[in-house]
Chain A
Amino acid sequence: MKKSLVICLLAVAFAGQLQAQKYFTRDGNITFSASTPLETIDATNRGASAVVDASSGAMEFAVLIKGFIFEKALMQEHFNENYLESGKYPKATFKGKIQNIGDVKWSKDGSYPVKFKGTMTIHGTSKEIAGQGTITVKGGRIVASSSVDLPLSDYAISIPSVVADKISKTAKVQIEVALAELKR
């Protein structure tokens, strides 16, 4: 009886260990630029959500399209109405995996380059992408950042010919999220 109780407690403790540590944010920073010499098209969103599983490397990001703020209100309106159709497709998401998650020492200061792969969904259209980023740990603060170039045509975002010269064919998307431990 005693022995089995010990085994059982060990099993529970072990389960707790395996219970992977996760990190999250609700106010991640995502910016994009589709600027050309003719027109500045930059927007910032400070409300990205993300969860990263520190042991498996699995991660998920989501951001509300309407949360992107432009300098020109009319450009923001057109971005939502005509290009991203945020009424129909309110969110952009990324679901993927950090492939070299083992290299990241979550509790040791340092800057860890990571590679990731996954599915980006924007404007209701999904595309497999791969990229690189950095996870920086400094004094308990964890910041994940990355930059990816997304061709607009991959996401069925059509640009009318009259403005074709003013909008870059590729959006440069920059992500910077400060992650906190997810406690439940």
Chain B
Amino acid sequence: MKHRFAPGLWLLFLCLAGFPALHAQDDDLLSLLGEEETTDYATASFKTNRVINLHSLENTHSGVLDFKISHRFGMLNQGLYDWFGLDNATIRLGLDYGVTKDLQIGAGRSSYKKMIDGYAKYRILHQSTGKRNMPISLTAVAGMYINTLKWSDPDRDNYFSSRLSYTFQALIGRKFNDWITVQLAPTVVHRNLVATSAESNDVYGIGVGVRQRITRRVTLNAEYMYLLPDQVTDNIQNSFSIGADIETGGHVFQLHLTNSTGMAEPVAFTETTGDWFDGGIHFGFNISRVFTIVKPKI
């Protein structure tokens, strides 16, 4: 009898031994669903779509129109008579629009050279972690510019194409953490017409843009465009700008010091004459105000 009962008893023990295991996980219910992996995209690598003159890694959000008012006052070395440059200003009024999450288009009009510009900006790679892991963001920018000044010599043969210039840029960068973002911007500026045969029609440069966040709503920005040697005349300086972005709800104020007078890329990067070491510096600002045109689907 004893001998016959024993295996059954074992079986019962086994059953009961398995019993508590069925209930052990009650204190962590969500783990029952398993971890659903998502992709976490880097956002707000810059406060707005420009570092200062340079396009930043950020695009205008989809369905959003960004109205930009940009000023560059005169140079500080103009002295007291010109109120250190504040008596003069060059301006650019611009509109940027986010067509999709990754495609942005824009247009603007500058007082300098009475220039009209238009561009398209497309994000090819978007920095992310999680399901899809991508260490960098990569954006391509292509712009076209029309100088609408009156012809300097109306009597000679003037061609419309002489008014045109173009910029092609790649923006490669990374938001390292909540505080620091760095981007590189290999750039080609093509000018259909240049003043002398000593200047190249195609000008190659490498730009660098950096932002350091100092509080939740304020960042410090800097950008530099290094032009490869022997492409422009000797009086042309590399463009260098430093500034601060201050965000207040719907606006971003960008205040900066720069040696570039113009704001459109061909002008800012290949026609800068201000010398930082000689007070050839403009105080300037960009004001960005956004309007939601197409509401997101929820």
Interface, chain A (partner B; CB < 8 A): 1, 3-5, 7-8, 11-12, 15, 18-20, 22, 24, 26, 44, 46, 49-53, 56, 58-60, 62, 64, 66, 69-74, 77-78, 80-82, 85, 87-88, 90, 93, 160, 162-163, 166, 182, 184
* B19, B26, B38, B249: residue with the most chain A Cβ atoms closer than 10 Å: B249
Contacts across chains A and B counted by CB atoms under 8 Å:
108
Closest 5 A-B residue pairs measured CB to CB?
A4-B8, A73-B61, A51-B29, A60-B29, A82-B216
> Which residues does chain B contribute within 8 Å of A85, judged by CB atoms?
178
State the CA gap A52–B29 with chains docked (Å).
8
CB pair B216 A81 closer than 8 Å = yes
State the CA gap A29–B5 with chains docked (Å).
56
> Which residues does chain A contribute within 8 Å of B44, judged by CB atoms?
77, 80-81
> Which residues does chain B contribute within 8 Å of A184, judged by CB atoms?
32
> Which residues does chain B contribute within 8 Å of A162, judged by CB atoms?
248
Q: Is B195 an interface residue (CB 8 A)?
A: no
Min distance, Cβ B36 to any Cβ of chain A, angstroms: 7
Q: Is B150 an interface residue (CB 8 A)?
A: no
> Which residues does chain B contribute within 8 Å of A60, judged by CB atoms?
28-30
Stretch of B87-95, B113-121, B162-170, B290-298 on the interface side = B290-298
Given contacts A46-B298, A72-B292, A77-B43, contact A4 B29 (CB under 8 A): no
State the CA gap A46–B296 with chains docked (Å).
14
A46-B298, A49-B33, A53-B29 are known contacts; what are 20 more A-B pairs with Cβ within 8 Å? A1-B8, A4-B8, A7-B8, A11-B16, A22-B29, A44-B298, A51-B29, A52-B29, A60-B28, A60-B29, A60-B30, A64-B38, A69-B296, A71-B296, A72-B292, A73-B98, A80-B44, A81-B43, A88-B178, A90-B40
- Cβ contacts A to B, 6 pairs, < 8 Å: A1-B7, A5-B11, A11-B15, A49-B33, A58-B27, A87-B178
> Which residues does chain B contribute within 8 Å of A49, judged by CB atoms?
30, 33, 36
CB pair A56 B26 closer than 8 Å = yes
Min distance, Cβ B249 to any Cβ of chain A, angstroms: 6
> Which residues does chain A contribute within 8 Å of B7, judged by CB atoms?
1
> Which residues does chain B contribute within 8 Å of A8, judged by CB atoms?
8, 11-12, 15
> Which residues does chain B contribute within 8 Å of A11, judged by CB atoms?
12, 15-16, 19
Q: Is B156 an interface residue (CB 8 A)?
A: no
State the CA gap A5–B292 with chains docked (Å).
71
> Which residues does chain A contribute within 8 Å of B15, judged by CB atoms?
8, 11-12, 15
Question: How many residues of chain B get a CB closer than 8 Å to chain A's CBs?
Answer: 42
* Chain B interface, DSSP helix/strand/loop, else mixed: mixed
Q: Is B198 an interface residue (CB 8 A)?
A: no
CB pair B19 A15 closer than 8 Å = yes
State the CA gap A11–B4 with chains docked (Å).
20
Q: Is B9 an interface residue (CB 8 A)?
A: yes
Q: Is B18 an interface residue (CB 8 A)?
A: yes
Q: Is B80 an interface residue (CB 8 A)?
A: no
State the CA gap A59–B32 with chains docked (Å).
12
Min distance, Cβ A83 to any Cβ of chain B, angstroms: 9
- Our pick among B11, B40, B217 for the contact of A4 (Cβ within 8 Å) is B11
Q: Which of B18-61 contact A (CB under 8 A)?
A: 18-19, 22-23, 26-30, 32-33, 36, 38, 40, 43-44, 61
> Which residues does chain B contribute within 8 Å of A77, judged by CB atoms?
43-44, 61
CB pair A166 B30 closer than 8 Å = no
CB pair A24 B33 closer than 8 Å = yes
Given contacts A7-B12, A11-B19, contact A51 B32 (CB under 8 A): yes
Closest to B12 in A: A8
Q: Is B63 an interface residue (CB 8 A)?
A: yes
CB pair A24 B32 closer than 8 Å = yes
Given contacts A3-B8, A15-B22, A163-B249, contact A73 B30 (CB under 8 A): no
Q: Is B189 an interface residue (CB 8 A)?
A: no
- Our pick among A1, A22, A90 for the contact of B4 (Cβ within 8 Å) is A1
Given contacts A12-B15, A73-B62, A80-B43, contact A182 B32 (CB under 8 A): yes
